[in-house]
Amino acid sequence: MAATKPENLSLVVHGPGDLRLENYPTPEPGPNEVLLKMHSVGICGSDVHYWQHGRIGNFVVKKPMVLGHEASGTVMKVIVLPLSLVSPEKLMNSARLADTTCHHPSSSVPHPLTMGTSAGFISTMPTSATRALIEPLSVGIHACRRAGITLGSKVLVCGAGPIGLVSLLVAKAMGAAQVVVTDLSASRLSKAKEVGADLVLQISKETPQEIASHVEGLLGCQPEVTIECTGAESAVQAGIYATRSGGTLVLVGLGSKMTSVPLVHAATREVDIKGVFRYCNTWPMAISMLASKSVNVKPLVTHRFPLEKALEAFETSKKGLGLKVMLKCDPNDQNP
């Protein structure tokens, strides 16, 4: 995109601990691109990680990077108009593009969306802060699909953060009979109960085996599916011990590069361990779930800040206050 007017307040990470509000030039969309006016952007744990550490996993900040991928906004300009898109519809952007060089159905490549996006990957809906949650909701959909959740499933979700709770919402919408959610935080477990968890378990100093035993006691059986959303080594271990023989453990949380797990325990009980990296081909379902009110993500948004107070918003998110922190980008529209 070619740059034009310098009136585009942006949140930019320059390296570990270096987060700045800067005016970037407003881009001019090129062929098959649209220009978006952001309405709401959710702060993701990965955004905080980039700010604090300058990287997450193998993704390293090598030059100034505009943060924000959980976004909803309005199409301001379209260069090539797909038949399915009418400007100026409200929309959410997808942070991934399909990798056409790979045949694996889950394969996709990162596509950072800062000032514009490919018109072919735009979804139209009335804009709001909750629409920005379609991106994390997609993670929950992908995790539940990978897990094979269906009617009557008994499910353990490790972690009551935003990704844990969207996984809970999707699991229930897909027909899970019972979902138990674990976390260290009593307030987050209270929110889990509010949005549909059948059972919750607050973790303190229990061993992974003890956690697994408590989960089995709550459910009356071992869960067929465990969705691990923390990345903590002890939680991954607990997930292996807790999951029913022949069941599935899905790893959503990203933790240490090397993790010690009871792999033989999983192998001898034929517990399938599956990885999840973001999502693929989930947006139609996510949009349908919101449109049909099959899920309600609105309670997940606990804090809202104008873009001008983004640094304060990031501090709030880093401290683990509330659940989902939302940035409101339009000074003329600060409504939820």
Residue 127 has pLDDT above 80, yes or no: no
Convert the pLDDT of each residue in 155-213 to its tens digit: 999 999 999 999 999 999 999 999 999 999 999 999 999 999 999 999 999 999 999 99
Residue 99 has pLDDT above 70, yes or no: no
- Helix H or strand E segment including 283: helix 283-291
More confident residue, 296 or 98: 296
- The pair of structure tokens assigned to 169 is 């919402």
Q: Any idea which of 43-52, 102-111, 144-153 has the lowest mean pLDDT?
A: 102-111
Strands 70-78 and 90-93: antiparallel
Ordered DSSP codes for 4-70: --S-EEEEEEEETTEEEEEEEPPEE--TTEEEEEEEEEEPPHHHHHHHHHSEETTEE--S-EE---E
Q: Average pLDDT for residues 230-257, to the nearest whole number?
A: 95
The percentage of residues in the chain with a pLDDT greater than 90, rounded to a whole number, is: 60
pLDDT of residue 89: 43
pLDDT of residue 132: 86
Beta-bridge partner residues of 40: 72, 328
- The pair of structure tokens assigned to 330 is 């339009």
How many angstroms separate the CA atoms of 9 and 327, rounded? 12
The percentage of residues in the chain with a pLDDT greater than 70, rounded to a whole number, is: 82
pLDDT of residue 117: 35
pLDDT of residue 102: 34
Residue 45 has pLDDT above 70, yes or no: yes
pLDDT of residue 150: 96
Convert the pLDDT of each residue in 288-302 to its tens digit: 999 899 999 999 999
Nearby residues of 217 by Cβ (< 8 Å), 6 or more positions away: none
Most confident of 6-10, 17-21, 84-88: 17-21
pLDDT of residue 212: 98
- Residue type at 46 in one-letter notation: S
More confident residue, 283 or 180: 180
pLDDT of residue 92: 54
Average pLDDT across the chain, whole number: 84
Is the preceding omega at residue 88 within 30 degrees of 0, hence cis? yes
Instruction: Provide the pLDDT confidence category of residue 75 given band limits of 50, 70 and 90.
Output: confident
Residue with tokens 């034929």: 270
pLDDT of residue 260: 95
Q: Any idea which of 102-111, 277-286, 303-312 has the lowest mean pLDDT?
A: 102-111
